[in-house]
Amino acid sequence: MLDEMTWFNEPADWSVDGGVLRAVTGPETDFWRATFYGWTTDNGHFFHRSATGDFTAEALVSAGHATRFDQAGLMVRADERNWCKTGLEVTSGAVQISTVLTREFSDLSVAPLPGPPGEVAMRVSRFGDALAVHCRVGDAPWQLLRLGQLDLPATVEVGVMCCSPERAGLEATFRDFRIGPPIPRDGLE
């Protein structure tokens, strides 16, 4: 599926090898709109493809987090004012799972990692104008992180993203990215 994807804000250093995407962030990159911090940035790296209707997107995500707000994960994007990103992020001095829903203004929720830092499976499912975000470590059950609303058009861009708002050089790795039918609604537990 990676060969069907394109970059929004392509990083200078990236590669695909054996179905694994590796990307290194440029300086001061992020996706954020206004709330609390007072800035709006739309220069994070987003490797994506179009998806129409309901779907589930998944990837295994890992990164060399070292600095506050370093982040790598999944993104669903309608445009610069309406999107969701979720993944590993350095917040409150530790790597955690973050989710940002942006409806003109960004909001942020964080949860502790459900295991030791390392590779985490991330999943975003679309059901009309609802997005469900899950994660898991290893063979553990999927953990629901967020259920939220976004006013999305029929077709959106879906893929992986990475950012480093306070530096350059975060190396992120994404494996087994796929988009398929949505999970059953009873899978939201």
Contact of 29 with 39, CB cutoff 8 Å: no
pTM of the entire structure? 0.95
Question: Is 185 part of a structural domain of the chain?
Answer: no
Contact of 131 with 124, CB cutoff 8 Å: yes
Q: What are phi and psi of 4, to 5 degrees?
A: -100, 10
Question: Is 138 part of a structural domain of the chain?
Answer: yes
Question: Is 189 part of a structural domain of the chain?
Answer: no
Question: Is 163 part of a structural domain of the chain?
Answer: yes
CATH code of residue 81:
2.60.120.200
**Domain that includes residue 128, residue range:** 2-12+21-176
Contact of 142 with 187, CB cutoff 8 Å: yes
Q: If you search the block for the tokens 């998944």, which residue do you land on?
A: 58
Q: What is the DSSP letter of 65?
A: -
Question: Is 115 part of a structural domain of the chain?
Answer: yes
Question: Is 183 part of a structural domain of the chain?
Answer: no
Question: Is 6 part of a structural domain of the chain?
Answer: yes
* pLDDT surpassing 80 at residue 189: no
Question: Is 182 part of a structural domain of the chain?
Answer: no
Q: pLDDT tens for residues 37-85?
A: 887 999 999 999 999 999 999 999 999 988 989 999 999 999 999 999 9
Domain count, the chain: 1
**Bigger pLDDT: 171 or 68?**
171
| Position 141 confidence tier, pLDDT thresholds 50, 70, 90 | very high
